[in-house]
Amino acid sequence: MADKIDLVAIQGTLVAIARHAGEMMRNATGKELETDEKMNAVDVVTETDKRIEDLVNSLLSKEYPTYSFVGEESYEKGVTKLTDAPTFICDPIDGTQNFIHGFPLACISLGFTHKKKPKVGVVYNPFADVLFSAIKGQGAFMVDNFSLAPGQGQGKVKSLPLSPGRKLGSLETALVGIEFGSQREGHNFDLKLEVYKKLTASKGTGGAMAGAVRSMGSAALNICYTAAGVMDIYWEGGCYAWDVAAGWCILEESGGRMVGGNPGKWDPAVDDRKYLAVREGGKEEQKRIVEEFWGLMGGRSWIMSID
Ligand code: IPD
């Protein structure tokens, strides 16, 4: 069964779909940008999210009728489960808040898992015209058309990470990705804010004095820029498999590593909802910065269910 899965063909299909969806994102106007609330006022969905997910689902189910599909907008709590089956995992627009504000960091994220492991990842930001992709065992790359005028071809294909072998230091020299997410109260939110304080505070006050902290507003892009090696480490709790599955494959294929957002969790599941992505830079160095980050949590953990 496994050897019948053609990952190269799947990647080709996902890239074509991502570029088509990118056009829909770029051309969205008026009603297509209006939002509906999901969990609360900051967790929103637009008509474009729904239209793109419907399109992705219908194209994939025609071409791969026996494969499963998990999508952010069709997800049903307690019903939708990630299984061992070959599965497409879709976030039609990751960075929805950026999308509705016209802030140019939003993307479509299309992953493919088998036995719950990421095997193909495609992440496309149509506003910057940057595409990230990877196939398990075949490396990761980025096609950056940003500097090209329309019609000037495919852009430069760059292998990831962009500067292999660059030393991975401690948090003091790191560029760290964080997000505030949509859950804004309770234990997990308190933990987040306490960790952010420790992460940024001076050494003299017991902090890690992180070199720089960035919140891009898209989990998938945070992971892809960690794969590119321009972000050193990215910590997140609360997002879902569709936010991370594609980026995860790209990260691993770049030599980066995905570990858990909670201390001691070296091998998290794709749907664990708590993650720490670290860029390429050598196993020992990765371990050291991961443990330094976990140390900021002061023995506390995220508490959240995976469904
Ligand atoms: C959100 C973004 C954000 C992350 C949230 C996600 P959405 O996805 O990835 O960075 O912090 O947890 O829900 O809603 O823009 O698809």
In a domain, 103, yes or no: yes
Write down the H helix ranges in 149-203.
Answer: 186-200
β 117-125/107-114 pair status: antiparallel
Name the domain boundary from 138, 159, 180: 159
Q: Which one of 139, 159, 179 terminates a domain?
A: 159
- Stated pTM of the model: 0.96
Residue 288 has pLDDT above 80, yes or no: yes
141 and 184 co-located in one domain: no
**What pLDDT score does 219 carry?**
98
* Token duo for residue 189: 């939110």
Among the listed residues 246, 238, 226, the one whose alpha carbon sits nearest the alpha carbon of residue 304: 238
* Residue 91 CA, closest ligand 1 atom number: 16
Backbone angles phi, psi at 111, to 5 degrees: -115, 160
Q: Write out the two tokens for 240.
A: 């879902």
CA of 221 to the centre of ligand 1 (A): 10
In terms of domains, do 271 and 226 share one? yes
| Ligand 1 atom 10: residue of nearest CA | 218
Dihedral sign from CA coordinates of 197, 201, 207, 209:
positive
Report d(CA 55, CA 49) in Å as an integer.
10
∠ CA 180-47-116, nearest 5°, is: 60
Residue identifier of the C-alpha nearest atom 12 of ligand 1: 239
DSSP state letter for 149: P
pLDDT at 259: 98
Cβ contacts of residue 136 below 8 Å, gap of 6+?
A: 7, 117, 118, 119, 120, 249, 252, 253
Dmax over Cα atoms in the chain, in whole Å? 60
145 and 11 together in one domain: yes
Is residue 35 flagged as an active site residue? no
CB 184 within 8 A of CB 58: no
Name the residue among 218, 198, 219 with its Cα closest to residue 209. 198
- For the question of residue 96 being annotated catalytic, the response is yes
pLDDT for 38: 85
Q: Which residue shows structure tokens 């071409």?
A: 63
Residue-wise pLDDT tens digits, 48-70: 999 999 999 999 999 999 999 99
What is the pLDDT confidence band of residue 279, given thresholds at 50, 70 and 90? Answer: very high
Average pLDDT over residues 279-293: 97
Examine the domain organization and report whether 256 and 130 are in the same domain.
no
Are the beta carbons of 239 and 181 closer than 8 angstroms?
yes
Distance of alpha carbon 49 from alpha carbon 56, whole angstroms? 11
Q: 205 and 152 in one domain?
A: no
For residue 123 the two structure tokens come to 């992440």
Is residue 166 in some structural domain?
A: no
Query: For the segment 236-272, what is each residue's pLDDT rounded down to a tens digit?
Result: 999 999 999 999 999 999 999 999 999 999 999 999 9
Q: Which residue is closest in CA terms to ligand 1's atom 13? A: 239
* 32, 150: one domain: yes
Which residues are bridge partners to 227 per DSSP?
Answer: none
CATH number at residue 85: 3.30.540.10
> What percentage of the chain carries pLDDT values higher than 90?
86
d(CA 1, ligand 1 centre) in Å: 34
Distance 49 CA to ligand 1 centre (A): 13
Nearest to 132 by CA among 252, 292, 262: 252
Please report the atom of ligand 1 found closest to the CA of residue 45: 14
List the CATH number of the domain containing 175: 3.40.190.80
Do 7 and 84 fall into the same domain?
A: yes
Q: Are residues 77 and 176 in the same domain?
A: no
Check the CA dihedral 201-207-209-210 and report its sign: negative
Instruction: Name the band, by pLDDT with cuts 50, 70 and 90, for residue 150.
Output: low
215 shares its domain with 155: no
Residue type, 282: G
pLDDT of residue 36: 86
Domain boundary among 127, 159, 191: 159
pLDDT band at 1 (very low <50, low <70, confident <90, very high): very low
What is the atom index within ligand 1 of the atom nearest the CA of 215?
Answer: 10
Question: Looking at residue 2, what is its pLDDT?
Answer: 46
Indicate the number of domains in the chain: 2
Classify residue 173 by its DSSP letter. Answer: G
Cα of first residue to Cα of last residue in the chain, in angstroms, is: 28
Residue type, 154: Q
Catalytic residue of the set 53, 73, 94, 271: 94
CB-based contact 94:221 (threshold 8 Å): yes
Whether 218 maps to a domain, the answer reads yes
Range of the domain at 68: 2-159
Calpha distance 244→259 (Å, rounded) = 12
Q: Has residue 257 been placed in a domain?
A: yes
